Amino acid sequence: MSTQAETKAKAEALVPKFKFEKLLNQDQAGRRTSLLGTIDSLPALLILERAPFPSSPDYLASVPTTLQTLKNLGANDIYHWYLANSSSQNPSDETADLKINLIHPCSEKHIKKYSKQGVRLVSETPQIYLERVRPYMQAQRDAGRLNWVFNIVEGRTEVEDVIYRTPFDAASLNKEGFLLLPDLNWDRQTLDALHLLGLVERRDIWSLRDLKKKHIPWLNHMKEKFIEATTKVYPSIEADQLKLYVHYQPTYYHFHIHIVHVQLEAGATQATGKAVGLDSIISQLETMGGGDEAGMDRATMSYTLGEASDLWVEVFEPLKRAGGKASQSQ
């Protein structure tokens, strides 16, 4: 009868004997890979998945200084992003095992955003939007937090990254004036994890709240052009493999659209309470009563907020304490 140690040793001896034949699948944005092969001439499946980062302070402190390779993919204002190798074995772009984003210098707002915190579900009525949230948006825009967006829109940075751009004509705002480029969270290699960002040049639309019935032709036109450009640049991707959505609340108040592959793992940024499908917005506008000026500012929006976020601390928590719209802890 085999001892536990013997059973363990036999199991550990199997993996080095695996002979690779075919890549079956990659999912979780390329972090899990399924391989077909053989062990001792018998068929075998080997599923590789990247383990979580160790939480040891010594390990985490050593990571930035022990990278074998580091390649900058882009830089804009305080934002920088890279591909890197943490292993010394055949380091190259193809074997890069880390996608790194750097924010420097970062603000207290950035620190709050990326810190672990409780989450609340809030309900933003048209009145709360007009009286509390809209002034908050204005303050964020006035604080200069859109410089990196304007750098792209005005062609000062990331010019080489733009994969599609329409001419901007201030006299015909509802027709053109938008561009498409890779989102900084995409590694630019894994097509199943494709994530592009569509930015508009016009500055009068801060979020989906500013969209009105009169914008429906412009939204449909932009959707068509973004899909057309994406499938042209990445010909292995077809139109029905793409989904387009916007965030509410967005990270920054300049209207933009996310274009992602349908197989991209739907994490928190695509979850209910954060992402709103572009088709759903267009449909809601189409069925909305009223004239051309009727818009999304009339709707009640429910979404999630971190307890450390300014919107929760400055707007919704005081409303809750005062007996306003209740929120739900998550």
What sign has the CA pseudo-torsion 279, 192, 179, 155? positive
244: which 2 tokens? 């387009």
Active site residue 256: yes
Round to the nearest angstrom and report the end-to-end CA distance of the chain. 50
Peptide bond into 249 cis (omega under 30): yes
Q: How far apart are CA 109 and CA 102, in angstroms?
A: 15
Residue with tokens 């000026």: 293
The answer to whether residues 233 and 218 touch, using CB atoms and an 8 Å cutoff, is: no
Q: Which of 3, 1, 46, 4 is nearest to 21 (CA)?
A: 46
The catalytically annotated residue of 195, 215, 247, 256 is 256
* Helices (H), ranges, 114-164: 126-128, 134-142, 147-153
Annotated catalytic sites, by residue?
Answer: 256
